[in-house]
């Protein structure tokens, strides 16, 4: 069992939007795992092989190994809501058995992100059905459905229900993003230099403007909670059980 399982459509999505919160959980003694749905092979920049190596580097920075991160190898740009894809994701959920499931919000400019949301929602429900049998490494899996579902936003923003203070993890978060040197330009927060090893065509998120926007969003969310940087989430479904209102303090 793990505390958090973060699911995203492409390698680097988790690093961009929730890696600070994952590392904060680990810093506080918790555990997390990551599930990428595709290898990102249809991306404008880089290749599946390049992004695989970049993911390994990002994993080192986050402090996890290959046993804590899986890739379902669903075709990039074609995340379909079908039995095969749902079954793969059910296996992952039952394998990691997270207390909290983290995945993309329902609305975004990229269809893969929206379809990832819908696929996770279906797999979350299906994973709890005893009539649906799955195996992992030749062994039958027990039904399991996480109690809490949280979503994160990509380019299209939402107003979060909760914000995690990632001030202490911010520099490491930037390092995990910089690991994907084929994809992004990272403005240094300390100097005027940039980290950009790619000469490939620009995309909406590859340029310096996007990273400045992302950092500004983290600063805005941090300011709201009296911190330097923050990552925001929305909660789905039923209210969270609180045994004592002081648990909120």
Please tell me the predicted confidence (pLDDT) of residue 115: 98
Which residues on adjacent β-strands are paired with residue 237?
Answer: none
> Quick one: pLDDT band at residue 241, thresholds 50, 70, 90?
confident
Predicted model pTM: 0.90
In contact, 152 and 231? CB cutoff 8 Å: yes
Give residue 69's pLDDT band: very low, low, confident or very high (50, 70, 90).
very high
Q: Is the pLDDT of residue 184 over 80?
A: no
Token digits of residue 34 = 């990551």
Cβ neighbour number for residue 135 with a 10 Å cutoff = 10
Structure tokens at 187: 């403005």
pLDDT digits (tens, 9 = 90+) for 114-144: 999 999 999 999 999 999 999 999 999 999 9
**Rounded CA separation 180/157 (Å):** 23
At 246 the pLDDT is 85
Percent of all residues in the chain with a pLDDT value above 90, rounded to a whole number: 77
Burial class (CB in 10 A: 0-12, 13-18, 19+), 120: buried
Q: What is the mean pLDDT of residues 34-40?
A: 96
Angle in degrees, CA 122, 126, 128, rounded to 5: 135
Least confident of 1-5, 63-67, 138-142, 178-182: 178-182
Structure confidence at residue 194 as a pLDDT band (50, 70, 90)? very low
Contact 8, 104 (CB under 8 A): yes
Query: Which residues are CB-contacts of 76 (< 8 A; sequence separation ≥ 6)?
Result: 10, 38, 39, 40, 41, 42, 43, 48, 112
Give the CA-trace dihedral at 40, 104, 120, 150, to 10 degrees: 140
Q: How many domains does the chain have?
A: 1
Sorted by sequence, the CB contacts under 8 Å of residue 148 that are 6+ apart come out as 99, 100, 101, 235, 240
Residue 67: pLDDT over 80: yes
CA 48 to chain centre: 18
Closest alpha carbon to 90 in 155, 38, 146: 146
Confidence of residue 100 (pLDDT cuts 50, 70, 90): very high
pLDDT at 247: 83
Please count the helices (runs of H) and the strands (runs of E) in the chain: 7, 11
Tell me the CATH number at 11: 3.40.50.10320
Confidence of residue 157 (pLDDT cuts 50, 70, 90): very high
Cα–Cα distance measured from residue 234 to residue 219, given in angstroms and rounded to the nearest whole number: 18
pLDDT digit string (tens) for 199-230?
677 776 667 788 899 999 999 999 999 999 99
Range of the domain at 99: 2-248
Report whether pLDDT(27) > 70.
Answer: yes
Q: pLDDT value at position 203?
A: 72
């Amino acid at each position: 069992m793990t505390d958090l399982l973060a699911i995203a459509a492409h390698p680097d999505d988790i690093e961009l939007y929730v890696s600070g919160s994952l590392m904060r959980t680990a810093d506080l003694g918790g555990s997390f795992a990551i599930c990428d749905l595709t290898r990102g092979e249809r991306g404008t920049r880089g290749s599946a092989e390049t992004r695989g190596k970049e993911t390994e580097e990002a994993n080192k920075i986050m402090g996890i190994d290959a046993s804590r991160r899986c890739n379902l190898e669903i075709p990039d740009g074609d995340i379909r809501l079908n039995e095969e894809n749902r079954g793969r994701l059910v296996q992952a959920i039952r394998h990691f058995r997270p207390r909290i499931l983290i995945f993309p919000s329902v609305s975004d400019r990229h269809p893969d992100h929206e379809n990832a949301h819908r696929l996770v929602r279906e797999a979350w429900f299906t994973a709890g059905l005893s009539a649906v049998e799955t195996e992992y490494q030749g062994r039958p899996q027990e039904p399991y459905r996480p109690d809490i579902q949280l979503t994160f936003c990509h380019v299209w923003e939402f107003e979060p229900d909760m914000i995690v203070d990632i001030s202490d993890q911010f520099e490491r978060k930037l390092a995990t993003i910089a690991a994907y040197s084929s994809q992004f330009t990272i403005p240094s927060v300390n100097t005027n230099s940039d980290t950009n090893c790619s000469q490939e065509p620009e995309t909406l998120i590859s340029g310096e403007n996007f990273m400045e926007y992302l950092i500004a969003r983290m600063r805005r969310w941090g300011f709201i909670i009296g911190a330097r940087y923050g990552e925001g989430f929305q909660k789905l479904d039923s209210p969270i059980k609180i045994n004592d209102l002081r648990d909120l303090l």
